[in-house]
Amino acid sequence: MSLEQEIKMLVSQQEELDLLALPWLGDLLEADTDRIHLLSTYFDTPDKALQQFGVGLRLRQIGEQWLQTVKCSGEAKNGLHQRKEWEHELNGPEFDLALLADTDLAPLIKQQSVWSAIAPVFTTEFERQLLPLRLQDGTRVEMAYDRGEVRAGKKRAVIHEIELELKQGDVKKMQNLAESLKAALPLQYSDISKAAQGYKLSQGADK
């Protein structure tokens, strides 16, 4: 289990950002940038038992790699999201119940009526540009620039956002970085996660 601390900012333009056009941002890079394609499916019961319990469950595919992730709803304020997270690699697109039993999802797994009703609710698919950054005093931040969409039934919603995830060090340094980015780019803080966006879209989505 880890405590995820990240800042989420929405991009308020349709055009793709050229992040490396900011010389000072390029100076913070501690390794080459990378681009990856992410496809994630989020699961719940028809009556949204997991959402009501305050946990999220997803399977994510990155190339040939599969990841199983459980996240608690946690707290979000002024774009800063803080929540417990459990993430494990899998051999394929099948949940590992033993690993899930060691998360906050455990009480629901033990209820057969709940677990047997688990089904896909929505998906997210996006391209991610990754920028590994090193700030002052050794603070390390993973910057992710995401462009894609959320899908629930026939409904679609745009994903166009930047996330800063604290990997090591001082969260205040990451907040200062966010302020600098916000001053230089068309960004606004968001307290709405991709999962929350997907749940909202799924309400009344066409089957």
- On whether the CB atoms of residues 151 and 41 are closer than 8 A, the answer is no
- Domain hosting 169: range is 3-202
**CATH number for the domain harbouring residue 9:** 2.40.320.10
CA geometry: angle at 29 spanning 127 and 144, to 5°?
25
Q: Let me know if residue 207 belongs to a domain.
A: no
Place 74 in a pLDDT band, splitting at 50, 70 and 90: confident
pLDDT digits (tens, 9 = 90+) for 121-167: 999 999 999 999 999 888 999 999 999 999 999 999 999 999 999 99
pTM over 0.85: yes
Distance of CA 125 to the CA centre of its chain: 11
High-pLDDT (> 70) share of the chain, %: 98
Residue 155 lies in a domain: yes
Count of domains observed in the chain: 1
With 50 as the cut, is the pLDDT of residue 39 above it?
yes
Average pLDDT over residues 67-92: 90
pLDDT digits (tens, 9 = 90+) for 40-63: 999 999 999 999 999 999 999 998
Band of residue 206 on the pLDDT scale cut at 50, 70, 90:
very low
Cβ-contact 123, 39 below 8 angstroms: yes
* Residue 104, domain member (yes or no): yes
